[in-house]
Amino acid sequence: MSDDPTVDPATGLLHRAAFLDEVRKGQAAGMANVRRGCLLILRFPVLARIGEAGGSDAATLALRNLLGIVETRLRSRDTIGRIGDHSLCILLRQCKEPDALLIAEQYVGLLRDVVMEAGEHRAPMDLHYRIVPLDWRGRRSRQGVSRVIKAPEDAARVLSASAALASVEDKGPDKVVRLTPKADAAPRVVQQAESTDQSAMIEGATYRLKPGLLLKHRPVICCYRLRPVGIAPVVLAISENPLFEAVLEALSLKSTRTRPLIESQLVVPVEAEQLSKESALWLKDQCRLRQVAPADICLSLRFESITSDLRKSLPALRRLNRHGIRLMLEGVGSAAQFSAIQNLAAFDYLLVSARILQSSLDSIRARQELDSLIAQAHGQNREVCTNGLDTPALLAHARSLNVDIGFGRECGKSEPFPDLPVA
């Protein structure tokens, strides 16, 4: 899957040494005053049983299927690595221990009822997990300044926690073992928390294809959405980004693959700073040369990314409009914001997050605001999408809100990209 020596070739995730290097970066001088968060270690003994029955290839296939579920809950700032044959570890940046426990419960909820399948081999889920806090909140000083206590020896703590999980006696199928974090007796250093995590984006992200469903009509795959998994990608201009070479190859009528994504739209997340008039022209020319329909490419941008530098982003967006490239808008909080940005550039899709969707289930006011936003989009003949549909309840709620397209676990398993699914 990758020639990168820091990446596990079977999954595309960081392998253990590279993942621990990523964790250690939190102790660098530039991040000394930053709350680093927690580690969530997930161990799947069920993979060992599948491996015994079907071999290592069957276990690897089962792990990839698990990853397709796990990645639906990853936050954009989280980093995931493979730290053992049957173990994953997620670095939950800027996450307090109580919040990490809630996140762990969400993963358990996603995975509890999964039946593992790898070819002819099936096994019920067996999952162990553990939280490893990287810092603790100390007492407040007289000035009311909240301080963070750092725990050194991160690598040793990760390995010892992983070993503790590995030594847990097998409790049988369908048993979820919860191990509470132990107090760390290592020396502690007091640091003042003065900033948020602004970790530099680095190369090496892998991508997965998430299928989308037409919620208002018969459920069929109509488009795919790319999502980076593992570590955040470096921000490169579109014309310099190898991801777009893979996207164009996947959509090209000239593709040598057994199943190019013909008649499917591919949603690609980008930052506004990756766009320029030159990159828009490059994308247009590449579509012509490779026989790709421009409307098959949809660039998804965050509202705050666009508004951070309107003078630079708007000319590029307008040129993309003229070239027929589709645009998707994320992170809009109100109908007024959507209307304002639509007056500047034409977005074809509005993406509503699962968090906003869930809030509208819990709050009448949030439901009214979301209804207004969706009505505004439909009034301008724009399609409305939602991301993170991980439960039947959210799927049904999206349909009731007249949302057009959905992405998430309930819409189908994700697949590695550019290793496209084969018919």
Q: Is residue 4 part of a domain?
A: no
Q: Are residues 274 and 372 both part of a single domain?
A: yes
Q: Same structural domain for residues 62 and 149?
A: yes
Average pLDDT over residues 71-86: 82
Read off the pLDDT of each residue in 368-397 and give the average, rounded to a whole number: 89
Answer whether residue 93 shows pLDDT above 60: yes
Residue of 311, 228, 229, 230 lying closest to 270 (CA atoms) = 228
Residue with the bigger pLDDT between 417 and 370: it is 370
In a domain, 302, yes or no: yes
What is the pLDDT at residue 398? Answer: 92
Q: Considering the chain, what is the average pLDDT of its residues?
A: 74
Looking at the fold, whether 216 and 309 belong to one and the same domain comes out as yes
**Structure confidence by residue, pLDDT tens digits, 190-204:** 222 222 222 222 234
pLDDT tens digits, one per residue of 108-157:
877 877 777 666 667 777 788 888 887 644 433 333 333 334 444 555 65
Q: What is the CA radius of gyration of the chain?
A: 22
Residues 221 and 178 in one domain: no
> What CATH number is attached to the domain comprising 374?
3.20.20.450
Same domain? For 254 and 159 the reply is no
Average pLDDT over residues 252-281: 75
Is 1 among the domain residues? no
Q: What is the pLDDT of residue 237?
A: 85
Establish whether the linkage from the previous residue to 418 is cis, with ω within 30° of 0: yes
**Which segment of 26-40, 266-280, 285-299 scores lowest on mean pLDDT?**
26-40
Residue 187 within any structural domain of the chain: no
**226 occurs within a structural domain:** yes
Kindly state whether residue 422 falls inside one of the protein's structural domains: no
Residues 134 and 275 in one domain: no
Structural domains of the chain, count: 2
Neighbours of 186 (CB within 10 A): 11
pLDDT value of position 27: 54
Pull the structure tokens for residue 262.
């013909």
CATH number of the domain residue 35 falls in? 3.30.70.270
Same domain, 26 and 96: yes
Domain C-terminal end among 112, 147, 182: 182
Provide φ and ψ at 316, rounded to 5°. -65, -40
* Whether residues 170 and 76 fall in one domain: yes
pTM: 0.54
Are residues 211 and 178 both part of a single domain? no
Least confident of 9-23, 168-182, 228-242: 168-182
Pair (323, 401) in one structural domain: yes
Please tell me whether residues 288 and 358 are part of one structural domain: yes
Q: Which comes out higher in pLDDT, residue 84 or 283?
A: 283
The mean-pLDDT minimum among 86-100, 196-210, 281-295 falls in 196-210
pLDDT, residue 86, reads 85
pLDDT 10s digits, 218-229: 555 667 888 776
- The DSSP result for 17-45, as a single string, is HHHHHHHHGGGSGGGTTB--EEEEEEE-T
pLDDT digits 0-9 by tens, 296-355: 899 999 998 898 888 888 999 999 999 999 999 998 888 888 888 888 889 999 999 888
Instruction: Report the pLDDT value the prediction gives residue 370, as an integer from 0 to 100.
Output: 92
Residue 381 resides in a domain: yes
Q: Where in the sequence is the domain holding 54, given as residue range(s)? A: 14-182
188 part of a folded domain: no
- The mean pLDDT value for 1-8 works out to 63
Averaged pLDDT for residues 271-284: 90
The answer, yes or no, to whether residue 290 has pLDDT greater than 70, is yes
Are 339 and 225 within one domain? Answer: yes
Q: Which residue did the predictor score with more confidence, 398 or 98?
A: 398
Average of per-residue pLDDT across 20-38: 65
CB atoms within 10 A of CB 196: 11
Question: How many angstroms separate the CA atoms of 380 and 368, rounded?
Answer: 19
- pLDDT score of 63 more than 70: yes
